[in-house]
């Protein structure tokens, strides 16, 4: 069993079938010590640790920042943990979770600028400007939809440095300030219902519609049919 905990923020009230299959994937493919759900714990979730948080922030970004701080300040979470989302699926066995980055922030910015100009892009630019002001002239992006190894002390420092930003890109701020390096990979998020998604990395992530109605969701559910240790068995 791995020495690190897996930590996942969960929003309130969702049925969250994606989380069920994410938990199954971590159980079989990502060695770990314990799983912590932060925020909400679905009634079917079994054998997981839980850190309740008030999800009263004005945006999801503020909520996840509050969740991250609660994790880093909790004495029972491992000092290094794997930060995930509830739609991060590990589809192939990893003996240890690698560190991945997405390439230079400026390249990621160009991609999102071509798709619109929302709060995510604003947060990307503000996080980049903050890092540049601290001497990181061409920072890497860590905004990937795969688990990220995080140290408590390093993340708390990143949250402190970026505390004035409304939409802090926490993964990027942490990765750059802590100097974690890593290997470049393409993001694994699948946005569409159709076939043609890439499974070569061993990681997948989905949009809700793609998981529920798409080829990728069917692939994930068929690959992870067996209930895992982190869910109550369904009555037949």
* pLDDT tens for each residue of 56-71: 655 677 888 889 999 9
Give the residue, 236 or 101, on which the prediction is more confident.
101
Q: Is residue 43 part of a domain?
A: yes
Same domain, 112 and 122: yes
Same domain, 82 and 63: yes
Confidence check: pLDDT of 13 > 50: yes
Confidence check: pLDDT of 139 > 60: yes
Same domain, 180 and 197: no
Q: Is residue 230 part of a domain?
A: no
Q: To the nearest 10°, the Cα dihedral for 119, 124, 127, 129? A: -110
Q: Is residue 159 part of a domain?
A: yes
Kindly report the pTM of this predicted structure: 0.94
Q: Determine the structural domain holding residue 160 and report its residue range.
A: 99-186
Last residue of a domain, one of 49, 69, 88: 88
Nearest CA among 189, 233, 236, 230 for reference residue 35:
230
Count of structural domains within the chain: 3
Q: List the strands of the sheet with 189-190, edge to edge.
A: 88-90, 203-206, 189-190
Q: What angle do CA 82, 103, 92 make, to 5 degrees?
A: 45
Same domain, 158 and 209: no
Same domain, 193 and 161: no
Same domain, 147 and 178: yes
């Amino acid at each position: 069993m791995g020495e690190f905990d897996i930590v996942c923020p969960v929003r309130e009230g969702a049925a969250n079938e994606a989380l069920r299959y994410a938990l199954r994937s971590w159980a079989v493919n990502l060695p770990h010590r314990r799983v912590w759900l932060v925020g909400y714990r679905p009634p079917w979730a079994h054998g997981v640790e839980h850190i309740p948080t008030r999800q009263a922030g004005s945006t999801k970004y503020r909520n996840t920042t509050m969740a991250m701080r609660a994790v880093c300040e909790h004495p029972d979470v491992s000092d290094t943990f794997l930060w995930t989302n509830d739609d991060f699926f590990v589809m192939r066995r990893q003996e240890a979770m690698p560190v991945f980055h997405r390439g230079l922030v400026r390249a990621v910015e160009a991609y999102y600028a071509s798709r619109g100009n929302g709060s995510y892009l604003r947060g990307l630019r503000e996080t980049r400007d903050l890092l540049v002001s601290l001497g990181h002239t061409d920072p890497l992006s860590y905004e990937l939809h795969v688990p990220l190894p995080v140290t408590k002390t390093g993340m708390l420092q990143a949250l402190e440095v970026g505390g004035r930003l409304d939409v802090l890109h926490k993964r990027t701020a942490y990765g750059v300030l802590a100097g974690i390096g890593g290997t470049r990979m393409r993001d694994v998020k699948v946005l569409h219902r159709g076939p043609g998604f890439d499974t070569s990395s061993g990681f997948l992530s989905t949009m809700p519609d793609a998981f529920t109605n798409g080829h990728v969701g069917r692939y994930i559910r068929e690959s992870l049919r067996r209930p895992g240790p982190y869910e109550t068995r369904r009555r037949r």
